[in-house]
Structure formats: structure tokens, C-alpha cells
Amino acid sequence: MTTAPTLSRPAQTSPPPGRSRLAILASVRLTVLLLALIAAVVLIGAWCPQEAQVGQQKVIDMFGPDVALELSRWGVTDIFHTPLFLLLIGFLTVNMVACSVQRVFPRARLLKQPMPLLSEREISRLTVNSELALPGAPHTGIARLAQGLKRCGYQVRVETDALTAEWGKLGRLAGTVTHIGLLTLLAGVTVSSWTGFSGFQAVPLHGKLTFGQSEHSKLWIGRLPDWSVRVDATRREDYESGDPKQWYSDLSVVDSQGRVLKRQEISVNNPLSYGGVDIYQSSWGLDQLVVSFNEHVRHLDLRQMGKVYAAFLPLDEETMFIFSVHDQVKPLRLFAKRPDWGAPRLLAEIPPGKSIKLGSVNLTYREVVPVTGLQYKSDPGFPAVIAAFVFIIAGAMLAAVPHRQVWAHARIANKDDALTGTAGTSGENACILAVGGRSAKAGRAFEKSLSSLLAKLSGDGQTLAGETI
């Protein structure tokens, strides 16, 4: 009667007749094929720089113009917008809906169904099974087993001389929960791409962010906001080394009449939300330098040169002024450069608002105008996406819970049971306990835990000769 437990993998029950056409769409084989194909496409998309993310130039830099053109023609450089990719996602959706409705969601009903009681014979046919002799009447044997199982966290149902027990029942919901999450995700993403908008604008200090330029080609439903966002202040915070640590912008939301509706300071990782639109700090720089020569105001464009920003002003054929600023508070450094000098010479350091004399000219450092890079987006499908995230995580975690089922049946021992005569387990004082169970996901671990439980139980009883679990 010894059963070397084997991981049995009974064939999947076939779908009811008359649904064969649906069956292909709902088959798990198709799922695996689709998942593998999508993975392959995404892998190619990860390998080849995508124009939509990094621009065409990067692709050309990497492969040279000829190969880049060829890749572009095959859609490899924008693979996530190719019909192939969308088609695969479409198939996956149909497959998931069909399979979920047909096979996965009905699983939820199983939760309510109690496990049936099994006879001694049926128990002996389970993948993991054992028989042991215990002192006392059958119901005491069952009661002791029930106690042991409960201590291991099983939900136990006792019926006089038999019991059923279950562990990790919720694990059976894994597929259902995950798939609900995935379908919700698809729904959320669809809503967003039909009604959302997003964009980026570099806004100088005191300038305004408006939404007219946003990428809303996909805006099928809904309209763009008529309010705008004014940059009241913006600054950078550095590490001691001079590397940037954080960027900040003080923003005001203003309506079309100029009334301020909301004020907030934003920074990287700390956006402003208003009217369903989120505004993010995404980059920062210095835009213009404002200086005056004898009250003659000039705006000079700044260029980033490593950690500083510089503006260039030719004085004559030979001489060039170089203005270098680091941020809004540190002094402006003025250099002059001539071809016969090896390196530019520092002429002066001018704190903001101060002036210096250069011969007959009074040079004043008025201000430096920073520019803040603001990213914005409106994403109406986002709540659904968040809900989907919760479901997907919960489902994946449930899938890690192995479902375990135990059945037991007890009867009074008789002469045919080859008891080896340990005290207390002979004659009418003993019961024979048939215990069996299964766990599709963790057969071996289940077997180990059940056998150690039974070993404890039979500390004063014994397993029948030749019986192993």
C-alpha cells in the first residue's frame, strides 16, 4: 500500500463541447505563445534605442545611417507603436478575457465549496498518504490530528470519524485576482490614451506654462484646461562639491482673469496637482544673463558649460568677454580672452546687483534669469491603473501560497492490521488513522511538513509496518 508520492499532473479538463472555436482563443497554449512573442518584441525594443524616447539621432549614432534607415523601415526603432505589437496585445487581451471567463473566474466559486469527505480507500489513492495506528477510539485519533493540523494553520472540518483540512485556500484565487488586475490595467491605459494629455515646457522665471502645445493628438474626448501656471521663483540647491542636489520652483495656478487659484513649491519627486493635471519639476537651468553697460541693459543668452553657465560677448575682432555664472547668488565672473593669451584672464568678480568700472564703462550685474523645465500630464485612467497595480501585486503574492488539502479517516483497529504490539495500540483500544492529501504547487514540501506532523502524533503510537509517507 506504500505510495511513493509522485507529483501527478493530470491533464487539463477539456472545455465543454460546442465551444471548440472559443477554445483556441481561450487556450493556455496560446497564452504561452503570446507571452513569449511579446517578450521577444519587448526585448528587441529594449535593445534598439527607440525614436519615441531618445530621438532619431541616437539610433543613427549607434548603427550608422544605412542600418538605422533599414531598422526604421521595419519598425524596429518604434516597435511599441507597430501594428505587430498592438496586434499581439490585442490577442493577449482577447485570450485573457476568454480564458478568464471560461476557466479562471469560475475558480472563485470553488472557495465556497466544502471539501468532500473521502473514504479510507480514496485516501490511499492520494499522492501523499499514510496510515498510522493510534491508541484510543477513532474520534480521539481524529481530534488529535485536527488539533495538530490547526496548530499548523489548517482550517479543519471534523465529522465524527473523519476530517478534511485546508491550508492556503486563498492561493486558489491567484489567477482570478491577477487577471482582473491585468484587464483593469488595459482598461486604465486605454482610458488614459483616449482622454489624457502631457507635455514639457521650459519656462523662464516669471513666465507662464500653458497647455496649448501639449501632445494631445490622442485626445479623443475632453478638452485642455484654460488656466495656466506662473513661475514665481525657481532655484537650485547644490552639494558642497557643486553638483546639483535639488531643484525647486514656486508655482501659482492662475485663471484666465489672472486670479491665483493655488500656490505651491515643487521639486523633483514633489509635484503640484491641480484640476486633474500634475506638474513635475523635471530639469533646471540658467537662461539669460542681464547686465547693463552705463545703464544700457543687455540680455545675454547663457550656455551650460559643465557646472557653470557662460555667455560670450565679442568686444572687437580680437577680444572676447566671457561671463560665467554658477547660480543666482554667487558672483558673476568676468573673463577676457585674446588669441595671444594662453587662457582667458579673470577680470573681475561681481556680486549680483553690484557694478564695476571698466575704463569709462560702468558694468552692472543686474540678474540672471533661471529657466525651469516643467513636465505636465493629465491621466484620467490613472485610478484604474493604480487599482490594477494593487490587484496584480495581490494576485502574484497569492500565487506564491501553495494550496494544501488533507483528508483523514479513522476506524477501530482489527486483527488484520499488522500492529507490532506497542503498548496501547493493540486490540480494541487502538484506531487506524488513514491520512492523505495533496498540494499541486508544493507536493514535496507538503509531504515533509505532513510527515513531521504525523511523526509527532504517533510519538506514542506508530505507523503501520512498511508505511512511509
Partner 1 sequence: MSELQLAMTNTAGISSVMSFWVFVGSNAFRRPRELMLKLGLVVMVVGFLALTVAIGARGVDAGRFPLANLYESLLWFAWAVMGGFLIMQRLYPILHLGWLASLAAATMFLYGSWLPASQHEISPLVPALVSYWRQIHVPPLICSYAMFFLAGLSGLMQLWEAGRVRSLAWSLGSLMLGCTAIALGTFTSVDTFVLQAMFVGGSIAGLTGALLNLKQVMRTRVNAERAELYDEVAYRAIMIGFPLLTIGIITGGLWANHAWGTYWSWDPKESMALVTWLSYAAYIHLRIHRECSAEKLSLVTVAGMLLTLLTYLGFNSLGFGGLHSYGRFK
Residues that bind ligand HEM (CB under 6 A): 28, 31, 92, 95-96, 99, 103-104, 107, 174-175, 178-179, 182, 395-396, 399
C-beta contacts of 453-459 below 8 A and 24+ residues apart? 453/148, 453/149, 453/152, 454/130, 454/132, 456/148, 457/132, 457/134, 457/144, 457/145, 457/148, 458/132, 458/133, 458/134
List 154, 197, 211, 247, residue binding partner 1 (CB under 8 A):
247
Q: Which does 96 bind (CB under 5 to 8 A by kind): partner 1, ligand HEM, none?
A: ligand HEM
Instruction: Report residue 246 as a C-alpha cell.
Output: 535639488
Task: Tell me if 243 contacts partner 1 by CB under 8 A.
Answer: yes
Choose the binding region for partner 1 from 152-160, 203-211, 388-396, 461-469 (rule: CB under 8 A).
Answer: 388-396
In the numeric block, which cell numbers belong to residue 178?
Answer: 491577477
Closest approach, Cβ 428 to partner 1, in A, equals 39
Distance between CA 99 and CA 91 in Å, rounded? 12
Give the integer Cα–Cα distance in Å for 95 and 85.
15
How many Å apart are CA 302 and CA 325, to the nearest integer?
A: 9
3-state secondary structure of 197: strand
Q: Is 248 in the site for partner 1 (CB under 8 A)?
A: no
Touching partner 1, residues 4-43 (CB under 8 A): 4, 6-7, 9-12, 28-29, 31-32, 35-36, 38-39, 42-43
Three-state DSSP class for residue 280: strand
What length is written for the chain? 469
**Cβ 246 to partner 1 shortest distance, Å:** 6
Smallest gap from residue 39 Cβ to ligand HEM (A):
10
**Is the Cβ–Cβ distance between 239 and 246 less than 8 Å?**
no
Interatomic CA distance for residues 313 and 180, integer angstroms: 63
> Residue 7 Cβ, how far from ligand HEM at the closest point, in Å?
15
Nearer to partner 1, 165 or 392 (CB): 392
Tell me: does residue 87 bind partner 1 (CB under 8 A): no
Verify binding: residue 370, partner 1, rule CB under 8 A: no
Q: Which three cell numbers stand for residue 455?
A: 511523526
**Cβ-based burial of 194 (10 A; exposed 0-12, middle 13-18, buried ≥19):** middle
Contacts of 55 by beta carbon, 8 Å cutoff, 6+ apart: none
Among 84, 111, 418, 445, binds partner 1 (CB under 8 A): 445
Q: Which is nearer to partner 1, 363 or 469 (CB)?
A: 469
Q: In what order do the strands lie in the sheet with 345-350?
A: 303-305, 308-314, 320-325, 332-337, 345-350
Q: Is 385 a residue that touches partner 1 (CB under 8 A)?
A: yes
Provide the pairing of β-strand 128-135 with 462-463: antiparallel
Q: Is 422 in the site for partner 1 (CB under 8 A)?
A: no
Determine the Cα–Cα distance for residues 338 and 333; give it in Å rounded to an integer: 17
Of 113 and 257, which CB lies nearer to ligand HEM in the complex structure? 113
Please list every residue from 254 through 293 that binds partner 1, using CB under 8 A: 268-269, 271, 278, 280, 282
Asked whether position 389 contacts partner 1 by CB under 8 A, the answer is yes
Residues in 136-155 that interact with partner 1 by CB under 8 A: none
Among ligand HEM, partner 1, none, residue 179 binds (CB under 5-8 Å by kind): ligand HEM
Cβ 79 to partner 1 shortest distance, Å: 9
95 binds, options ligand HEM, partner 1, none, Cβ within 5 to 8 A by partner type: ligand HEM
> Of 295-303, 304-312, 321-329, 371-379, which segment contacts partner 1 by CB under 8 A?
371-379
Closest CA to 435 of 418, 414, 452: 452
Site residues, partner 1 (CB under 8 A): 4, 6-7, 9-12, 28-29, 31-32, 35-36, 38-39, 42-43, 45-47, 49-50, 52-53, 80, 175, 198, 239, 241, 243-247, 268-269, 271, 278, 280, 282, 375-377, 382, 385, 389, 392-393, 396-397, 399-400, 402, 441-445, 448
